[in-house]
């Protein structure tokens, strides 16, 4: 499945019923140098639109919202010791968490890459 994007600047990549989630390259550019990432505990339930993580940069602290509903099954522990990984690979190695999807139909509410690029350009 191609990567999907939210209006809150998160990306979602799905394999089976597991969604990998992170922030977009655009979001990390807006934040600047990331100095701290606070992730949820494995087993925690998240609701679409609810808080899923906190990112702190030299400019500001910002919430990361869950683009889908589900249960956290994995977190990127590398971000604890190397939060700047988000800056170096926001849409790759700088992923935040993996969620077991509760409602895969929510993916239909997200944008594909061309729609997301158009959204960013218009805001």
Position 8 scores a pLDDT of: 96
Are the C-beta atoms of 79 and 90 separated by less than 8 Å? no
- Tell me, what's the pLDDT at 123? 87
Strand order in the sheet with 4-5: 4-5, 10-15, 18-23, 97-101, 70-75, 45-46
By the 8 A CB rule, do 66 and 39 touch?
Answer: no
CA 114 to chain centre: 18
DSSP at 104: G
pLDDT of residue 32: 95
For domain 4-103+111-116, the CATH class is mainly beta
What pLDDT is attached to residue 28? Answer: 96
Q: What is the pLDDT of residue 104?
A: 96
The tens-digit pLDDT sequence of the chain (123 residues) is: 689 999 999 999 999 999 999 999 999 999 999 999 999 999 999 999 999 999 999 999 999 999 999 999 999 999 999 999 999 999 999 999 999 999 999 999 999 999 999 999 998
pLDDT score, position 86: 97
Domain spans, the chain: 4-103+111-116
pLDDT at 56: 97
Nearest to 10 by CA among 30, 34, 27: 27
């Amino acid at each position: 499945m191609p990567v999907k994007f939210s209006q809150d600047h998160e990306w979602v990549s799905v394999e089976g019923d597991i969604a990998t989630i992170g922030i977009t390259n655009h979001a990390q550019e807006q934040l600047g140098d990331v100095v701290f990432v606070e992730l949820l505990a494995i087993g925690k339930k998240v609701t679409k639109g609810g808080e899923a993580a906190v990112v702190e940069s030299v400019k500001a602290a910002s919430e990361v919202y869950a683009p889908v509903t589900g249960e956290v099954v994995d977190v990127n522990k590398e971000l604890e010791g190397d939060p700047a990984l988000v800056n170096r690979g926001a849409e790759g190695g700088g992923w935040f968490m993996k969620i077991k999807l509760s409602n895969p139909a929510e993916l239909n509410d997200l944008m594909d890459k061309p729609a997301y690029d158009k959204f960013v350009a218009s805001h």
